[in-house]
Amino acid sequence: MTAFDDLMAHQRDTEALAGISGRLGWDQETMMPRGAAEQRGEEMAAIEGVLHARRTDPRVGDWLDAIDAGGLDEVAKAKLRHIRRDFERNSKVPAKLAAELARVTSVSQGKWAEARAAEDFAAFAPVLERVVGLKREEASALAGNGDLYDAMLDDYEPGATGAGLETLFSSLRPRLVALREAVLGAEHQPAQIEGTFEEAAQLQLAREMAQAFGYDFSRGRIDKAVHPFCSGNGADVRITTRTALTDPFNCVYSTIHETGHACYEQGIDPDFALTPLGQGVSLGVHESQSRIFENQLGRSRAFTGYLYERMTALYGDLGIGGADAFYGTVNRVAPGYIRTEADEVHYNLHILMRFDLERAMISGDLEVADLPDAWNARFEKDFGVVVDKPSNGCLQDVHWSVGLFGYFPTYTLGNVYAGCLLKAMQTALPDLDAQLAKGDTAAATGWLRENLQRFGGLREPRDTIAHACGFEPSEEPLLEYLEAKFRGIYGI
């Protein structure tokens, strides 16, 4: 066997073990008994220790040095690029620190869930302080003399920097705020859906929506969780959703969103399975898939007409007044506490706030103990609403409890990418709306699979979007889409 063959065999087992670790995380969120949290922390730490040892195995460096990349094809070179990046990053992080991070974040996740349920940030603060301290330590090892936050970003969006994202977000904010003010001040305001919607019917509709958007149930499943998520890749890609008896859209659109993530993983070339290319290339690109499924497709006038028919068949008269009014209701703009329930106009303002707060925590400009006050003050300034309880404030998201600093900005980056993809898709599929009006997403999801999803990690994130769209990504298509859509709905 050649050095390349030896490296790929080693990597295949590493990818398989990482999949097992991911399954443990899925179980913790869905089925694990609450009393098992401490033990699960030890289990996660143990497997992370094994993974870290494999990822930093000196043989990986030897194999990389021995391989002549000149004669390799594009796929092989891309595999080496990912392995080299991961090897160099992981080699900078001490094994003891990697295992401790896995242990503490597993326990912290349980503490966060308990504190959230009890509306008690003080009970969560000590473990969050420990997570922040460990993440700073990890970032210091990775960054050397560089920026700590940039080192964290590289885990989720290779090539992105905090300064670059700040520039992008500064371009988005003024037009988002102006649109928000125009919409909230409009004379016409869509009705809000009212009533009680049986959970069994919501879950039935969720399965229908997942299937309509191409989710392969022979390689996945849907379960309930506090915070909807997607887990896995290749032949085992699982999603979760949640229900609220007075808000059926929560379940419908959480499911469509996670289906977007899942279809990305299921759509990757099977030849890439158990290799570094066998998963989404970055969280920003991943989020572009979930957001275009949920918003540009799922909340379009065409698709909501189909959804209106399905919901009236399940629930009877919705009291909305027809498909056009239903389209306005689905896309209704209103300030709200919860990021995952935010409309398209407000959503990115939620992310911009989190981006600023987490950068401040990592830099040391914001202490964990001061997070609730900083959150509440910023929220009132940006949204004009006073936060009433921690679960509607800084305890609403799981991300910081599990150490995902640098993750939040990829949500807005995904929205930017989704705007670009829609522009390219509409050019390629002139009859897109006619198909969506029948509940047929095959052309749209097929276009995404052919032009983006199947390539997995073959290209760098921005190159992945540029290759799919035929132009370099920017914020302009997203802003144009939002302004046209909501000015139309609100008659402004």
At residue 37, what is the residue type? A
- Surface-to-core class of residue 311, CB atoms within 10 Å of its CB (0-12 exposed, 13-18 middle, 19+ buried): buried
In terms of residues, how long is the chain? Answer: 492
Instruction: Give 223's strand partners.
Output: 240
Q: Which two tokens stand for residue 329?
A: 């209701």
CA-to-CA distance for 269 and 217, rounded, in angstroms?
18
Q: Active site residue: 29, 48, 100, 258, which one? A: 258
Look at residues 108, 142, 139, 143 and name the one whose alpha carbon lies nearest to residue 126: 108
CA 198 to chain centre: 28
- Surface-to-core class of residue 194, CB atoms within 10 Å of its CB (0-12 exposed, 13-18 middle, 19+ buried): exposed
Q: With beta carbons less than 8 A apart as the criterion, state whether 292 and 243 touch.
A: no
Residues contacting 108, CB < 8 A, separation 6+: 127, 128, 130, 131, 401, 402, 403
Q: Please give the order of strands across the beta sheet that includes 236-241.
A: 222-224, 236-241, 230-233
CA-to-CA distance for 372 and 122, rounded, in angstroms?
10
Residue 258 appears among annotated catalytic residues = yes
- Surface-to-core class of residue 158, CB atoms within 10 Å of its CB (0-12 exposed, 13-18 middle, 19+ buried): middle
- Surface-to-core class of residue 252, CB atoms within 10 Å of its CB (0-12 exposed, 13-18 middle, 19+ buried): buried
Active site (catalytic) residues:
258
